[in-house]
Structure 1
């Protein structure tokens, strides 16, 4: 292992070599502190991400592994293994079997759910390698759950982002601060909305590689990003961990895996060694070998110091090596001694810290027909206790409950930064097929203030007009069948009304039509005559083709009435009459 790690390039030299190419296309709008347009795509006019932006990234900008792949990217055979004669890079190219299966199944699921995203499984592999070394070299059980938890450092603001506990320690065992957890290192607040069930066991477990890989895939495919586009690819990676070095590292592994990889047995993958925070041991079960004598948080206990010295410090010395005099204030009195490194400085107040509540920023009644976009977008304003608007605060909008209503792009969660007037406008809301009331909740990212709920109503699909696609008269002889099936088109406000429920019934003619007991009829699945059809539905183009019509021995004029949801009605006349017999030609006179 040591010889193997010795061949790796160190982070500083390697990232410099690729920085220009990898970062050239980046702009400040790719940081997590961005807004979202009506299509779910991120934009920003502010190049500076908000101080609490880490709370809305996948990992909370936690530390990651900086080991880089070899310069040579081999295409080793599946039998390649570490040992004498192993091709350079063959070990790095191997991915544990269960972990590799999870990456590929996540790609297949996203290919079906979000084909426009073009997610490659190699991207999941690159992120999984950088985040946890493929679940500590594939140390997972048969169901894909890690044999022991993988927990990152607590995000307490001491060298990391400050993210206070959001899950009461359920996932990370920490009820004070959040920690990134699992093979893909999700923080609990992100897992709460991004988590997925990838192995079909009915649970969303961040410690399961199938669940975590699928969640990572959906996370990377949000906002309408197309990962075959270099700009969108880089935006997606930066949203996972907002670091240019992180981006460069993931891109290097992505390119490496694209050139060749193979499956290796679970538990035999190489362990990464270098971490972006200097390689400090993570608390609890970690993905790196624990360092003897470390405290929770990865800090080594300081040796005893003489009385009067701050732990971990020595008296300052002058350039000549003699102890310097204690620094003095302008008044000549000794300055306050430096703060002990073991006491993290108090985090500066951010705009988010000043938010007291959320207010409706003018959102009115929200109603849309199933399958259509709501005409109005939800907007919320962040305010202080005194009612002053707060800009540059991240507002998360979440569609709650068992509904298929989503934001544009198919996601149920969208995060938007407030503008200069303190207002955040959610992406357009698209009604699903399930009718009824939908709740959208606005919350402040990184601030435990009460959420603000918006109610939206989804009504059934409807049509306001029906017309036949041709004007052929509908006639039939007794006991026969009508020559042409009836085809109608439904529209709503001039546009095709697809998937609209409809009924068709044969009625008697006259001033007061009534259900017919004789005359034209349809056939049910058993071939029996029926004169009322329920459960009909127009197709995507608003067309409805009725089943074949037949006639019994009753002659006369009947009516076929078609009615849709929304009240559109069309009545068509049906005629059943005996065929006219041709009269014989008069015989010639004698």
Structure 2
């Protein structure tokens, strides 16, 4: 989180009291299974641990200001009947800068299309944006949504914060020694590397752009198949962004506030927060103790100034001790990745790969390293995904140093793609695995009817040809097929006379490609017509996988 923006007047006693009650209530409603660690962080199971390098922000500091007591709902202005914010009610704090608000709503719409089961509300993005950067520092963004100056969190060097060594060579945060959270949604570089998105369609993934950052935050919150309309998954998602009970409660408070109503304010005019989680989150230093008031009211009598004490004799400065060198974390002891016995990765379109990818983290001496986060990323032009539809999965290595990726599910696109394995929080060379998706196959084709297929010259066949495809005696659905009217049983050349299908402008077509069997393995061909040439003809149907069926067609005068 960047340095403080300034100070605002401390809320009244009533506001503070009610805010405290709200936080206490939210604390009591914590998601089941959430436990405090010794560092005050949160653990929500294997998908969200206390490892700062696997949270969106690296558990960086955040703003702890709570919403005002007044309802944020806009009030009608006199004479117009339209809703406008009433500054006298304190509702200006509920305003969100126009471009920032637009980015949140566009991210919600995009996630509604790509992950409808997530049920992401834009108000959640607004709540996180509020506590992370004060809505991009009050909306100080340009017309494209990029912040006018970078928003950087503190150096994550282990001095009061998590320790995350540099993972981006300073590309995002300008620091080649340690990482820093970047942008209005405060992503650390190692998380942005896989979760970054292009939210404004400019071809770039920029953590300092609110459109890109908001869409990335939405995607981050929607991973693991979480449904944010449920309390448990909502809490898990928020805690995965920053592993802190106080963070969860603060975000939930703003979420409920924004759900009651919100309005936009001009960019650059948003209310800036003042209290941060790393500065005691206490009262403003500008506050002074109140003067004493006599019983029954009246003018308060100022307290007499205290008699100054003589200055103490200064002590000689103590010799500073050199800072202790922290023990390396398991992640920092990893020297390289090794394959842990992954087999050949092939699957038929639509099926689950029978083999799972396994990789092992090792020291330079080849010793296994446990409790290290390993990331599996699908790369390439493919619709394959891990279980739950995710393109990225993060797994903690066991004591044997082995991490096993979730099952791979093949999509409909055939061909090869890559799964890259990397160590979270390190810039070590990764491991690449090649996976291949093959077309659906059929090894047998049969007609579903046995009636002869006949037609008079210049007429239309009464029966449409329908076949059923199977593979190893099971229904072969989604199998591609080709139908061709051939010259002879030993000559697969397309015939130039006899039966035909109708193409554009009713022109004769004697080869059909791109046919596909349905969910029951059935394929019904279009109507067949005959020209004026009588005779016996052949229709040949072939599928991927080698299944072939030849059907006889007869063109003869009626009664012959």
Q: Which range, TM-score by smaller chain?
A: 0.7 to 0.9
Return the match for 2:480 from 472, 485, 501.
501
* Residues 1:429 and 2:381 aligned together: no
CA distance, structure 2, for counterparts of residue 398 and residue 32 of structure 1: 23
2:89 to 84, 87, 90: 87
Distance across 2 between alignment mates of 1:230 and 1:470: 55
Q: Cα 1:466–1:118, aligned 2, differ >3 Å: closer, same or farther?
A: farther
Equivalence for 1:473: 452
Q: Structure 2 vs 1, CA of residues 187 and 16 (structure 1 numbering), >3 Å: closer, same or farther?
A: same
Alignment match, 1:27: 34
Q: Is the 1:34–1:416 Cα contact (8 Å) retained in structure 2?
A: no
Offset from partner CA, 1:199-253 (integer Å, 9 cap, x none): 1111111111111111111111111111112111111111111111111111111
C-alpha separation in 1, matches of 2:364 and 2:197: 37
Question: Whole-Å Cα distance in 1 between the matches of residues 355 and 392 of structure 2?
Answer: 17
Aligned to 1:458: 437
CA contact (8 A) 2:31 2:235 kept: no
SS at match of 1:2: coil
Residues 10 and 67 in structure 1, CA contact (< 8 A), matched pair in contact too: no
Distance 1:394 1:537, change over 3 A: same
Question: Relative to structure 2, which stretch is displaced further, 521-530 or 21-30?
Answer: 21-30
Q: Are the structure 2 counterparts of residues 261 and 16 from structure 1 closer, same or farther at C-alpha, using a change threshold of 3 Å?
A: closer
**Conserved? CA contact 2:44–2:236, under 8 Å:** no
Q: Is the 8 A contact 2:376 2:422 kept in 1?
A: yes
Instruction: Indicate which of 551, 559, 563 corresponds to 2:538.
Output: 559
Q: Deviations over 1:142-191 (max 9, x none)?
A: 11111111111111111111111111212111121111111111111111
SS at match of 1:152: coil
1:104, distance to aligned residue in structure 2 (A) = 0.9
2:102 matched to which residue of 1?
101
- Find the partner of 1:309 among 291, 310, 317: 317
Which runs of 5 or more structure 2 residues have no equivalent in the other structure? Answer: 1-6, 76-81, 282-312
Show the 5 A alignment for 1:286-365.
309-310=317-318, 339=321, 343=323, 345-365=324-344
Contact 1:508-1:557 within 8 A present in 2 as well: no
- Of 60, 68, 72, which residue of structure 2 is paired with 1:62? 60
Q: Structure 1 residues 200 and 513, CA, compared in 2 at 3 Å: closer, same or farther?
A: closer
Kindly indicate whether the alpha-carbon contact (under 8 Å) linking 1:363 and 1:377 is maintained by their aligned counterparts in 2.
yes
1:546 aligns with 2:552: no
Cα contact 2:448–2:468 (8 A) shared by 1? yes
Of 345-354 and 60-69, deviating more is: 345-354
The residue number in structure 1 matching 2:227 is 226
Residue aligning to 1:13 = 20
Structure 2: distance between partners of 1:94 and 1:506:
69
Asked if the contact 1:111/1:119 (under 8 Å) is kept, the reply is yes
Match of residue 2 from structure 1: 8
What pairs with 1:439-450 in structure 2 (closer than 5 Å)? Answer: 439-450=418-429
Q: Deviations over 1:85-114 (max 9, x none)?
A: x324x2232111111111111111111111
Aligned length: 513
Deviation (angstroms), 1:367: 0.6
Are 2:35 and 2:43, in contact at CA under 8 Å, matched by a contact in 1?
no
Other-structure match for 1:317: none
Residue equivalent to 2:125: 124
Determine the structure 1 residue equivalent to 2:139.
Answer: 138
What residue is the counterpart of 2:74 in the other structure?
A: 76
Counterpart check, 1:194 vs 2:171: no
SS at match of 1:153: coil
Partner secondary structure for residue 91 of structure 1:
helix
Change (3 A) 1:511 1:356: closer
| Alpha carbons of structure 1 residues 350 and 566: separation in structure 2 relative to 1, 3 Å | same
| Contact 1:466/1:489 (<8 A) preserved | yes
Per the alignment, residue 155 of structure 2 pairs with 154
Aligned to 1:315: none
Taking the aligned partners of 1:261 and 1:277, their CA distance within structure 2 comes to: 28
**Which residue, out of 381, 390, 394, partners 2:373?**
394
Counterpart in 1 of 2:551? 572
Residues of 2 paired with 1:392 and 1:491: CA distance? 46
Secondary structure of the residue aligned to 2:378 is strand
2:383/2:410 contact within 8 Å kept? yes
User: Contact 1:464 / 1:492 at 8 angstroms: preserved in 2?
Assistant: yes
**1:510: Cα distance to partner?**
5.1
Q: What TM-score do you get using the length of structure 2 for normalisation?
A: 0.84
Q: Is the partner of 2:176 in helix, strand or coil?
A: coil
1:418 aligned partner: 397
**Could you tell me how far 1:405 is from its partner in structure 2?**
2.6
Whole-angstrom distance in 2 between the partners of 1:139 and 1:379: 45
Normalised by the length of structure 1, the TM-score is 0.80
Within 2, Cα distance between the matches of 1:233 and 1:580?
A: 75
Partner of 2:359: 380
Distance 1:376 1:510, change over 3 A: closer
> Structure 1 regions of 5+ residues with no counterpart?
36-41, 44-48, 281-304, 311-336, 582-590
529, 545, 557: which is aligned to 2:508?
529
What do the CA deviations read for 1:297-335 (whole angstroms, capped 9, x no partner)? xxxxxxxx979524xxxxxxxxxxxxxxxxxxxxxxxxx
Partner SS for 2:376:
strand
CA contact (8 A) 1:508 1:516 kept: yes
> Does the 8 Å contact 2:33/2:44 carry over to 1?
no
What is the Cα-based RMSD across aligned positions, in Å?
2.8
